[in-house]
Amino acid sequence: MTAAYQEQNRAGLRLGAHLSIAKGLPRAAAMAAAIGANTFQYFTRNPRGGAAREIPADEITAWREVRDRADLYPIAGHLPYTVNPGAAGARQQEFARLVLHDDTLRVAAIGGEYLVTHPGHYDGDREAGLARIIQVIKESYLSIPEPGPTLLLETMAGQGKEIGSLDDLHYILAGLGWPARVGVCLDSAHLFAAGWDLRTPAGCRELVQAVADKIGLERVRAMHLNDSAAPLGSRRDRHANIGRGELGEEGIAAIVNNPFLSSLPLLLETTVSHYSEYGEEIALVKKLHSCE
């Protein structure tokens, strides 16, 4: 068992959801408490654009105190969907470099542990797209002195020219020289759509073994826990509410009772209309988790 695995597993099930910080980080902490979460994820800026809310120093001070009292750990920022370091266009490359650099510093300022990003899409040649991603991470993230958040590359469904398979992530990490500061965030809906059948304990064990072989379990630091509205192997990114998609309650139970996967912070990104609905889903996940 690695040190990272022990750290992740130190406080039992870490379960939360994607929440808004638009009304402030202390408000987000209250939202987490209301839904029974002990971790959460947030967008570092508008997910469809480039605007970022400035977080004043007094808010950060209040947040750190509230966070400690509520035992909210870990906290993950998520880059906007418009960031595409694999793109060939100069404007998209410039935007990806700017946002990755600036939002690394923004997450560091609030003491966030992780910064999650979609690896991106490629234009033309796939290897050229992978090379651009590697270069962006080197120049805009690894150039920033530690400490700071660990950058997590998310596994993707494989739509079109999307990058984010286990083989893609292995290629990127190897190209970076396997830095400890760069890891992986699994996504159950994406993995299912990419062809990993997580509906059974055996399927989950197969995934974990593949991750161990291609990535190393110590580099996997979080998991997005989502049901899938798209069928197995469809390569379509369509999230569904917990237990109501193709994974179903049986599949979610298989995931949250896997020894390794359940040691990860589990972050819901399901299709709720109001954050309070996450409370029902978190309660269901806890029920499906055999240790609860």
Q: What is the pLDDT of residues 254-271, one digit of tens each?
A: 999 999 999 999 999 999
Instruction: Give the per-residue pLDDT at 49.
Output: 72
Q: Are 121 and 162 in contact (CB under 8 A)?
A: yes
Nearest to 234 by CA among 182, 174, 292, 156: 156
How much is the pTM? 0.94
The DSSP H or E segment spanning 116 is strand 114-117
Question: What pLDDT score was predicted for residue 64?
Answer: 96
Q: Determine the 3-state secondary structure of 168 from DSSP.
A: helix
Total domains in the chain come to 1
Identify the CA nearest to 83 among candidates 125, 166, 144, 141: 141
Which domain range does residue 236 map to? Answer: 3-288
Residue ranges of the chain with per-residue pLDDT less than 70: 1-11, 291-292
Give the CATH number for residue 17: 3.20.20.150
